[in-house]
Amino acid sequence: MAHVIDGKALAAEVVARAAAEVADMVAKGGTAPGLAVILVGNDPASEVYVGRKIAQCRKAGIRSIEHRLPADTPQEDVLGLIDALNADPQVHGILVQLPLPRHINAALVLDRIDPAKDVDGFHPVNVGRLSTGTSAGGGGLVPCTPLGVMLLLDSVIEDYRGLNVVVIGKSNIVGKPVSMLLLEREATVTVTHIETRDLPDVARKADVIVAAAGAPHLVRGYWVKPGAVVIDVGINRVTDHDGNSRIVGDCATHELDHAKAVTPVPGGVGPMTIACLLSNTVLAAKRAAVA
Ligand code: NAD
C-alpha cells in the first residue's frame, strides 16, 4: 500500500507554527498580523474558500479584514481599495479572491498589490523572484499551493537532486511555480500540459508526479512507476451514477498501491494551501516589523 500523506495533519502543524509566531510577536509588543481579503461578487465556491481562509486566520490569531464588494463594483473602486490597503500599516497581507467578475481585469488588480503584501505570490515581482531563486533572500512571497506541495513532498523526500519530476499542468498558480521550486532543489523537471504527446510514457519515467490539470482521475495506475511519489493538486466536482456530487482529484488514487506515497483528495494539498497563506501572512508581517 502506498503511504497516504496526511495533508490535514501537516497543515495543522503549519497553522500551529504560525499561531506560535503570532503569539510571540504580540508578546513582544507588536501587532498581530492583518490579512485583508477582498471578495467581489458572490460566487458560491469563492464564498466557501474565503470562509475557510478567515476561519483558519482566527485560529492562528491573525486579524482578517473582510471587504465584500458587490459584483458590479467598478474596477477603479477595487484598485482604489487596494491602494488604501497598500498604504495601511495594519494590513500585512492582501488577498483578492479569484475569479473576479468579467468586467475587472484580474492582472491589473493583482499588479496593483504591494509585492511585500502579496501573500498569494501572484505579483510579477514575486513571480520574478521565484524564477530567479531569490524569494527567500530577496524578500519575495511564494504562491501558497506550490509552497504546500513542497511541504508535502518534504515529508517524504530528503534530497531532490537528480530526481525526475513530471508536473502535469503549466498554470501560473500551480504548474509553473511548483516547477520553479523543484528546479531550485535541483530536480530534473518536465512540465507537461494538454498538448504533451504520450503523457503516460512521460509520467512513467517520473520519480515524482505533481498533477495539477483539473482533469478527474487523469493519472492512472499504469502512468506511475513503482515507488514514485504522487501529489494530487486537482479539485474536481463529479457527479456519480446515483446523481450525488463529490470531489475527486486528478489521480486515480485507488490504482496507485504501487506508489511510494500519495496525497488524498480531499485532505491533501487543499488544507496545505490555506495553511501556507497563514505562514505567508506571518512572514510578511515579520518583514514589515523589521523594515
Ligand atoms: P488551469 O486550468 O489554469 O491549468 C490546467 C493545466 O493543466 C493547463 O496547463 C492544461 O494544459 C493542463 N491540462 C488540462 N487537462 C489536461 C490533460 N488532460 N492532460 C494534460 N494536461 C492537462 O488549472 P489550475 O488553476 O492550475 O488548477 C489545476 C487543478 O488544481 C484544478 O483542479 C484546481 O481546482 C486545482 N487547484 C487546487 C488547489 C488546492 O488548493 N488544492 C489550488 C489551485 C488549484
Mean pLDDT of the 146-159 span:
98
At 34-57, the pLDDT tens digits run: 999 999 999 999 999 999 999 999
Which CATH code fits 27-142?
3.40.50.10860
What are the counts of helices (DSSP H) followed by strands (DSSP E) for the chain? 9, 11
Per-state percent for the chain, helix, strand, coil, to nearest 5: 45, 15, 40
CA–CA distance from 35 to each of 55, 99, 187, 196, 231 (Å)? 12, 19, 34, 39, 28
120 in active site = yes
The best mutation among 95, 171, 178 to test binding of ligand 1, ranked by most ligand atoms within 8 Å of the C-beta, falls on 171
The architecture CATH gives domain 144-270: 3-Layer(aba) Sandwich (3.40)
Compute the distance between CA of residue 168 and CA of residue 291 in angstroms, rounded to an integer: 39
Q: For ligand 1, is residue 288 a contact (CB within 6 Å)?
A: no
Nearest CA to ligand 1 atom 20: 194
pTM: 0.97
Write down the pLDDT at residue 136.
Answer: 87
- With 90 as the cut, is the pLDDT of residue 129 above it? yes
Q: What is the pLDDT of residue 16?
A: 97
Element housing 77 (H / E) = helix 75-87
Give 264-279 pLDDT, tens digit per residue.
999 999 999 999 999 9
Task: Supply the pLDDT for residue 94.
Answer: 98
Buried b (16+ CB within 10 A) or exposed e, 221-240: eebbbeebbbbbbbbbeeee
Same fold, 27-142 and 144-270: yes
Q: How far is the CA of 234 from the centre of ligand 1 (A)?
A: 6
| Domain ranges within the chain, ordered by starting residue | 27-142, 144-270
Return d(Cα 179, Cα 155) in angstroms, integer. 18
CA of 78 to the centre of ligand 1 (A): 27
Indicate whether residue 270 lines ligand 1 (CB < 6 A): yes
> What pLDDT, on a 0 to 100 scale, did the predictor assign at position 61?
98
Beta bridge partners, 261, equal 3, 229
**Please, what is the average pLDDT of the chain?**
97
pLDDT for the residue 177: 98
Is residue 90 part of the annotated active site? The answer reads: no
**Is a pLDDT exceeding 90 seen at residue 138?**
no
Whether the per-residue pLDDT at 238 is higher than 90: the answer is yes
Q: In the structure, what pLDDT confidence band is assigned to residue 199 with cuts at 50, 70 and 90? A: very high
